[in-house]
């Protein structure tokens, strides 16, 4: 069983998550976009020595901005899809230049993965779904009835496809892949409120 804590971080109000495997207390952090008091408190509460991975859904500054500061606290490896790994080093691709107001080169990821990669956190398994469209290496993480979708899927919407590496054609394919998964999932999105696959199958205007 997992419990998920959402922390809204940074001026873009990105959703950062701390996911805890209840059986063991081991944790993963997803998308530390910026540091704030709430995130610092949540890390303390989880335990600085409890983190196994920092999992990134994509390379944009509002999702990766606090990687260095978080790593100083929890010393866990950072993982990103291989197609978004170069963007961490490119302020044009990670949007820290165009949108963030401060061109930033982020640290190299420790782990560069491809579709289907799994991450074990205690007894919980996170499985990567490569869902390009918002960026070339955008990914969702699936675990126990929950999907962490980054900026691929939003409540009745999808992420923008006009940034470097974006593609509306690939976004539609990725959306179809997600909505075609068997059964229902709670979906924690990279911004705004959460949703479910069943709701998006009914209401998402980008299907097709």
Binding residues (CB under 5 A) for Zn ion: these are 60, 151
CB of 84 or CB of 151, closer to Zn ion: 151
In angstroms, give the least distance from the CB of 63 to Zn ion: 6
Which residue number places its CB atom closest to Zn ion? 60
Q: Where are the alpha helices (DSSP H) in the chain?
A: 37-46, 61-64, 67-74, 168-179, 197-203
In angstroms, give the least distance from the CB of 155 to Zn ion: 16
In angstroms, give the least distance from the CB of 26 to Zn ion: 27
CB of 124 or CB of 189, closer to Zn ion: 189
DSSP code for 191: B
Tell me whether strands 186-189 and 195-196 are parallel, antiparallel or unpaired: antiparallel
Other C-beta atoms lying within 10 Å of the C-beta of residue 80: 28
Position of tokens 């401060």?
Answer: 102
CB of 125 or CB of 168, closer to Zn ion: 168
Tokens of 29: 């952090």
In angstroms, give the least distance from the CB of 108 to Zn ion: 19
CA distance 101 to 116: 35
CB of 151 or CB of 200, closer to Zn ion: 151
């Amino acid at each position: 069983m997992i419990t998920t804590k959402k922390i809204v971080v940074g001026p873009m109000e990105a959703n950062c998550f701390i996911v805890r495997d209840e059986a063991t207390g081991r944790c993963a952090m997803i998308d530390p976009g910026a540091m704030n008091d709430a995130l610092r408190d949540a890390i303390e509460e989880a335990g600085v020595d409890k983190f196994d991975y920092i999992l990134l859904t994509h390379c944009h500054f509002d999702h990766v901005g606090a990687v260095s500061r978080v790593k100083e606290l929890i010393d866990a490896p950072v993982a990103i899809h291989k197609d978004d790994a170069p963007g961490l080093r490119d302020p044009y691709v990670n949007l820290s230049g165009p949108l963030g107001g401060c061109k930033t080169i982020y640290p190299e990821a420790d782990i560069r993965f491809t579709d289907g990669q799994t991450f074990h956190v205690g007894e919980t398994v996170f499985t990567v779904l490569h869902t390009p469209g918002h960026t070339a290496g955008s990914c969702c993480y699936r675990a126990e009835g929950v999907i962490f979708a980054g900026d691929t899927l939003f409540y009745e919407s999808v992420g923008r496809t006009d940034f470097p590496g974006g593609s509306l054609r690939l976004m539609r394919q990725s959306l179809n892949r997600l909505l075609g998964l068997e059964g229902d999932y709670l979906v924690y999105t990279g911004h705004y409120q959460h949703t479910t696959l069943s709701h998006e199958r009914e209401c998402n205007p980008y299907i097709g």
